[in-house]
């Protein structure tokens, strides 16, 4: 089993780091809120793009059982060049060039509900696109 414990720490980040230094240090990942505050301060630039891979429906083709589908997502510019480290699977993670989904064994309609952050410079957004590839993964891989 898995046991998770949560504790609400009062104060802003600086205060929490000061008062609870044994729990929160510089290596602690801090996730920004998905959404925007009611007041946006001048000079605050935020261009967050979140992509959620929800579900798919895949025919088994000539096979007797459904396929083991893996989805790979990557970011490319208008010339097809891969944008390095543009995908962030979670707070505190380094950017990756390709995101690979979980593979469900022999499921015709897999439901992933996996959300990633795509970090692209504001001036590059209109020149980039997401590429999704789908492939069967053998259970021996």
Q: How confident is the prediction along the chain (141 residues), in pLDDT tens digits per residue?
A: 899 888 888 998 889 889 998 888 888 888 877 777 778 888 877 778 999 999 999 888 888 889 899 999 999 999 999 999 999 999 888 999 999 999 999 999 999 999 999 999 989 999 999 999 999 998 887
Structure tokens at 84: 């390095």
Distance, CA of 108 to CA of 66 (rounded, Å) = 5
What's this model's pTM, rounded to 2 decimal places? Answer: 0.77
Full set of structural domains in the chain with CATH: 47-141 (2.60.40.150)
Element (H, E) at 114: strand 111-118
Token pair 């083991």 in the structure block, residue: 68
In the chain, the N- to C-terminal Cα span, in Å, equals: 27
């Amino acid at each position: 089993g898995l046991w998770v414990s949560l504790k609400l720490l009062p104060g802003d980040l600086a205060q929490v780091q000061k008062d609870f230094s044994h729990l929160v240090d510089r290596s602690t990942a801090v996730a920004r809120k998905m959404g925007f505050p009611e007041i946006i301060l001048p000079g605050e630039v935020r261009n967050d793009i979140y992509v959620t891979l929800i579900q798919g429906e895949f025919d088994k083709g000539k096979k007797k059982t459904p396929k083991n589908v893996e989805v790979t997502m990557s970011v490319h510019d208008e010339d097809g060049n891969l944008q390095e480290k543009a995908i962030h699977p979670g707070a505190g993670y380094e950017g990756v060039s390709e995101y690979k989904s979980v593979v469900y064994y022999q499921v015709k309609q897999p439901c992933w509900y996996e959300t990633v952050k795509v970090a692209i410079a504001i001036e590059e957004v209109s020149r980039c696109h997401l590429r999704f590839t789908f492939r069967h993964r053998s259970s021996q891989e």
